[in-house]
């Protein structure tokens, strides 16, 4: 499922785009400022950016220039300017398409599909990265401050997505004998892990509870 970042300060236009793109099966994020879009793309990269030229903070042209310093994400400009020079400038600084307002939402959705097809399959960036040498796990680009037990627990869950681990199996993963009577300590570690993950993404629930069974990592909820 491709994710589209819409950078547009007019709510009515953004709403029209969101409706059209979501109707075609895309997911969307809407922002109104160029600087916010750059920060968002660094943290949680979208698969394509629809970028208005006349933004309140920095122009869409400047946003695209800065974006190209760290990302090759496809960019589609939206603009009320229909002059040839604007189109040429937009394409020369790295845009993949240029659409003039007013536009057909269905045409924009079709252009988005065409661009994504041309650039190849969308590969979602890894939400978690595990650095075994540094004993470090990064979530959505942010390093997590984990205890040794929390690191081992999360590592075990991440390495086998969707597998349900019993408390005994997770105790074994952190190096504690299952007969030591510490099964409920796993619940405490999981609670702490969830708190740290929510500090990065409040609405995400990557660690799932299976009552009477144990816990699993669900990539779809990350």
What's 128-221's CATH class? mainly alpha
Q: What is the pLDDT of residue 74?
A: 94
CA–CA separation, 88 and 215 (whole Å): 54
| Better pLDDT: 45 or 80 | 45
Q: What is the pLDDT of residue 194?
A: 95
Domain with CATH 1.10.10.10 in the chain: 128-221
DSSP H or E run through 62 = helix 60-67
Number of residues assigned to the chain = 222
Average pLDDT, rounded, for the chain: 87
Domain with CATH 3.40.50.2300 in the chain: 3-119
pLDDT > 60? residue 125: no
Sheet holding 27-31, edge to edge: 27-31, 3-7, 48-52, 75-79, 97-100
Tens digit of each residue's pLDDT (9 = 90 or more) over 8-21: 999 999 999 999 99
Among the ranges given (55-64, 124-133, 134-143, 199-208), the one the predictor scored with the smallest mean pLDDT: 124-133
Mean pLDDT of 77-90: 76
Residue 83 — very low, low, confident or very high, per pLDDT cuts 50/70/90? low
Mean pLDDT of 72-100: 82
What CATH code is assigned to 3-119?
A: 3.40.50.2300
**The whole model's pTM is what?**
0.55
Residue written as token pair 């990557």: 206
Query: Max Cα separation, the chain?
Result: 75
pLDDT > 90? residue 219: no
Burial (CB count within 10 angstroms: exposed 0-12, middle 13-18, buried 19+), residue 48: buried
* C-beta separation of 20 from 64 below 8 A: no
pLDDT > 60? residue 121: no
What separation in angstroms does the CA of 167 have from each of 25, 76, 96?
A: 38, 49, 50
Residue 124 — very low, low, confident or very high, per pLDDT cuts 50/70/90? very low
Mean pLDDT of 118-144: 79
Instruction: Give the number of other CB atoms < 10 A from CB of residue 17.
Output: 23
């Amino acid at each position: 499922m491709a994710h589209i970042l819409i950078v547009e300060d007019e709510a009515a236009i953004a709403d029209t785009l969101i409706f059209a793109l979501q109707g075609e099966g895309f997911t969307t994020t809407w922002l109104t400022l160029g600087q916010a879009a750059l920060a968002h793309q660094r943290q949680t990269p979208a698969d394509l950016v629809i970028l208005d030229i006349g933004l309140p903070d920095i122009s869409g042209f400047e946003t695209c220039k800065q974006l190209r310093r760290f990302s090759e994400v496809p960019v589609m400009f939206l603009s009320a300017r229909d002059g040839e020079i604007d189109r040429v400038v937009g394409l020369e600084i790295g845009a993949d398409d240029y659409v003039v307002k007013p536009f057909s939402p269905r045409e924009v959705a079709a252009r988005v599909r065409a661009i994504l097809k041309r650039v190849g399959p969308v590969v979602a960036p890894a939400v978690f990265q595990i650095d075994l040498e540094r004993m470090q796990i990064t979530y959505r680009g942010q390093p997590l401050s984990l205890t040794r037990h929390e690191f081992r627990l999360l590592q075990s869950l991440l390495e086998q997505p969707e597998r349900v681990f019993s408390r005994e199996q997770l105790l074994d993963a952190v190096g504690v004998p299952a007969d030591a009577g510490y099964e409920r300590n796993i619940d405490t570690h999981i609670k702490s892990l969830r708190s740290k993950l929510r500090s990065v993404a409040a609405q995400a629930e990557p660690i799932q509870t299976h009552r009477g069974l144990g816990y699993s990592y669900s990539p779809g909820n990350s």
